[in-house]
Amino acid sequence: MRIDLHTHSDASDGTESPAQVVAAAVAAGLDVVALTDHDTTRGWAEAAGAAREHGVALVRGVELSCRHDGRSLHLLSYLHDPEHPALLAEAERVRAARQDRAREMVDRLSRDFPLTWEDVEEQTADDATVGRPHIADALVALGVVADRTEAFADILATGSPYWVPHHAPAVVDAIGLVLEAGGVPVLAHPGAVSRARPVTEDELAGLAGHGLAGVEVHHRDHSSSEQRRLGVLAERFELLVTGSSDYHGAGKPNRLGEHLTDDVTLELIEGAGRLEVVR
């Protein structure tokens, strides 16, 4: 089977609706797709309806924004209870922090560029998790930059004069919350040097000891050597290995199905999760 376990819709920072992501997955020849929007499950119901309509399986998940040792890490949670009080409260806290951070960044940017909060809202779907990608889209619309990639390389880069941090839980705490909610925690793109320094062997061992279930090894932001390194460490610490596109529609060059997860891993994820895969 062709299985892609990391995509985003306009419920967070993708450019397509949840139903459109599912339709695109079918067009790309996928048998299974996961919707993993940032810190929200708001796209699940629409995606599930589209999955049943198109005859493709849907894994429901989220990508949680976390912190570890002074840097940002992302944690994928698969098949958890979306109403689990503690996890839901933490995700909402992060979502609100993202919104406040986005407003502050727009305030800073408005001193040097003709950017307003209304410009950002025009690039954001109703009730979406507002983030830097929406600011980037507004800057593109204004002609300040050519695309999101250019915006993130300079104006919106971590450490730029316009950058503002936001609240995020420690990744160890997030793993605990995901497990409490019956989910399967998988570390997203932990070797992506463009985002932060790669997760070390000792760090991965520690996270595995706290219940981390898997590692997203196969991802376009990982070099071949990094994929080999992570694969060896995943085997050493008995972690699941996943592969994914991290698809964002037109928001990133990532293409559905460019990296895949094997069906045995999917079976193990479904067996460990509280929810079933939508079929």
Q: What is the pLDDT of residue 123?
A: 92
Q: What is the pLDDT of residue 125?
A: 87
pLDDT tens string 198-245? 999 999 999 999 999 999 999 999 999 999 999 999 999 999 999 999
Is residue 193 pLDDT above 80, yes or no? Answer: no
Q: What is the pLDDT of residue 139?
A: 97
Instruction: Please tell me the pTM assigned to this model.
Output: 0.91
Residue 200: count of CB within 10 angstroms of its CB: 12
Taking residues 250-264, what's their average pLDDT? Answer: 95
Of the candidates 2, 72, 35, the one whose C-alpha atom is nearest the C-alpha of residue 247 is 35
Is residue 196 pLDDT above 80, yes or no? Answer: no
Round the average pLDDT of the chain to a whole number and report it. 95
What does the block give as tokens for 27? Answer: 């067009």
Of the candidates 68, 72, 65, 66, the one whose C-alpha atom is nearest the C-alpha of residue 203 is 68
Tell me how far apart the alpha carbons of residues 86 and 64 are, in angstroms, rounded to a whole number: 13
Instruction: Confirm or reject CATH 3.20.20.140 for domain 3-89+181-272, answering yes or no.
Output: yes
Give, for 63, the enclosing helix (H) or strand (E): strand 57-68
Q: What is the pLDDT of residue 27?
A: 98
Q: What is the pLDDT of residue 129?
A: 75
Q: What is the pLDDT of residue 90?
A: 95
What does the block give as tokens for 108? Answer: 């800073």
Q: What is the pLDDT of residue 248?
A: 96
pLDDT tens string 42-69? 999 999 999 999 999 999 999 999 999 8
Q: What is the pLDDT of residue 126?
A: 83
